[in-house]
Structure 1
Amino acid sequence: MTKSRFFRQVFLTFLCCVPAMQPLVSQQAESAKPAWIAGIESARLVDITSLEGTVYHVQGIDLDQEHVWVTSVDSQNKRAYLHQFNRTTAKLERTVDLTDGRRYHPGGFSIYKDSIWVPVAEYKPHSSAVLVELDKNTLRVKRRIVVPDHIGCLAVTDDSLVGGNWDSAQLYVWNVEGKRVRVIDNRSGHGYQDIKFAADGDLVGSGGGAVDWYSWPSMKPVRSLHSGSTDRGKPYTSEGMAIKGNDLYFLPEDGPAARLFHFSLAEPGISPLFHR
């Protein structure tokens, strides 16, 4: 065999081997990924529900045993909406327009007893918002509190309202009369899109690829879970989040075909990031 034929044979053998090598590299890369990359760390995906009804750019979510509520913004027409879905059928039941003049950005919101508290803000940072309290049954407005900053998410407890401004760079605390009593700088690096008080009293924030727990009112970090993305490439924590006991709910996608993702959290002792 001549040298030229020898090197040609070696080259052809190499080319034949390359395609076989590529899947091995890919499999190794896949196996190196954390198990939670497509979901929520230390949580199990329970089910996925497609909501049947018109929603726009999703902002927040909360739910009880009978209903799922969603806030969305129609940017083109500058309208703010709260939508009510039947939790059993996933069908849209009611929609309420919460637009307040130049304020048409409804944010992450919270149910508290017989009220739904929704922030509706101008769609820009360093602007203004109105904190709207609605009757959960009639969806009629019970109270309105105007505040001098964009508020994109709102959590409610017995004696306080807690709101995050643009990307939750700061958290404001008001008493139930609407007087501001505290400002907290968010040092987590996560831009929370929705915040809630958990049943044990911790404040839970979702955004920036993480779900974080804080003791209240000390704001001492308690727990942080990493978040992956849906099969459509949308981060779970990009928009609405709700927590009910050991269950986490996310609504990261816009309508139509918005999907509600339900995760069950592992027991706190199982997570290496649980520090309480």
Structure 2
Amino acid sequence: MLAKTVRTSLGAAFLAISCLSAVAAFPLSSLVERATLADVLQLGGNLFHVQGLALEPTRIWATSVDNTRHKAWLHEFDRATGKALRRIELTDGARYHPGGISVADGVIWVPLAEMRPNSTAVIVGIDSTTLKVRRQIAVADHLGCVAVSGRKLVAGNWDSRLLYEFDTVTGAQVKVVPNPSQTRYQDIKFVGHHLVAGGNRDWLSGTVDWIDWRSQKLVRTLKAGAIGPVRPFGRGGPLTGEGMAIEGRDLYLLPEDGPSRLFRYRLTI
């Protein structure tokens, strides 16, 4: 079913959880407005608390934070099989929070921040083949998500109240603008001139937003629910990750901490 509002009744909750548990039930329910659940890919290995998701034709990239040991990780998976391929630690002293990520032109962009607002962050550009650092941009604020398009890199701070734009070549800050939505973005991506951003509004609901970056206007919003232990957009629970990616009409969510599954939704509009 397509949920235009968050469904809180016991029957709706049971139906949604059943949908996420069984392949045969995919057409019956959806936690994302105007979308149908197409398939689920089980990921091998283990992630800690999921923070970001990015896709390449043959690979899946995810970030996670080990809050117990204060460590940041970048994970690589085979996109066809879900097999875990590589994992590297990204921890930079007090900066152990790796946020929402983006990949373009063979570079994975990851924000590493202190786990508190109004702190510091480093945006790291990592070669997707060698996993060597190619670029670093230091920022005097907590940054929790990044999106890249050409030389343009947009990052959201704590709860994405502010959206920063940087030049990926020079590292210079271009501008800072307020978030036109009340949603606290966890993962953001560029699709053309639109910034597609997903996150939570409260403990039980979130949205996927389309922002025209040229005007900073919010032009489209889809509601996303949170039912049971699997949530499209989590907020700190042990089973609630925060990864989102989009390709055409396919919306990908990584809502669980390890063992994790990648959910693919087909948008109907």
What is the TM-score when the length of structure 1 is the normalising length?
Answer: 0.81
Distance in 2 of aligned mates of 1:26 and 1:253: 21
Structure 1 position 197 matched with structure 2 position 194: no
Question: Displacement of 1:235 after TM fit?
Answer: 2.5
Structure 1 position 220 matched with structure 2 position 223: no
Check 1:144–1:61 CA distance in 2 against 1; reply closer, same or farther (3 A cut). same
Question: Displacement of 1:245 after TM fit?
Answer: 1.2
Question: Displacement of 1:104 after TM fit?
Answer: 0.5
| CA deviation vs aligned residue, 1:137-181 (integer Å, no higher than 9, x gap) | 111111111110110000011131100001101111112211112
More helix by share: 1
Distance in 1 of aligned mates of 2:207 and 2:12: 26
Match of 2:232 in 1: 236
What do you get for the CA RMSD once the two structures are aligned?
A: 2.3
Distance in 2 of aligned mates of 1:260 and 1:127: 31
Distance in 2 of aligned mates of 1:37 and 1:29: 10
Check 1:143–1:265 CA distance in 2 against 1; reply closer, same or farther (3 A cut). same
Instruction: Select which of 74, 86, 93 maps to 1:82.
Output: 74
Check 1:259–1:218 CA distance in 2 against 1; reply closer, same or farther (3 A cut). same
Distance in 1 of aligned mates of 2:114 and 2:10: 46
Check 1:28–1:214 CA distance in 2 against 1; reply closer, same or farther (3 A cut). closer
Question: Displacement of 1:38 after TM fit?
Answer: 4.2
Distance in 1 of aligned mates of 2:194 and 2:166: 17
Check 1:27–1:233 CA distance in 2 against 1; reply closer, same or farther (3 A cut). closer
Distance in 2 of aligned mates of 1:127 and 1:212: 26
The answer (yes or no) to whether the contact 1:37–1:229 under 8 Å persists in 2 is: no
The answer (yes or no) to whether the contact 2:30–2:37 under 8 Å persists in 1 is: no
Distance in 2 of aligned mates of 1:70 and 1:125: 23
Q: Which runs of 4+ in 1 moved over 3 A?
A: 25-30, 35-38
Structure 1 position 187 matched with structure 2 position 180: yes
The answer (yes or no) to whether the contact 1:119–1:132 under 8 Å persists in 2 is: yes
- Please list, as runs of the form range in 1=range in 2, the aligned pairs for 1:107-118 lying within 5 A after superposition: 107-118=99-110
Structure 2 regions of 5+ residues with no counterpart? 1-8, 15-26, 201-205, 235-241
Alignment coverage as a number of residue pairs? 237
User: What secondary structure, in the 3-state scheme, does the structure 2 residue paired with 1:138 have?
Assistant: coil
Match of 1:251 in 2: 254
Check 1:29–1:154 CA distance in 2 against 1; reply closer, same or farther (3 A cut). closer
What is the TM-score when the length of structure 2 is the normalising length?
Answer: 0.83
Structure 1 regions of 5+ residues with no counterpart? 1-24, 268-276
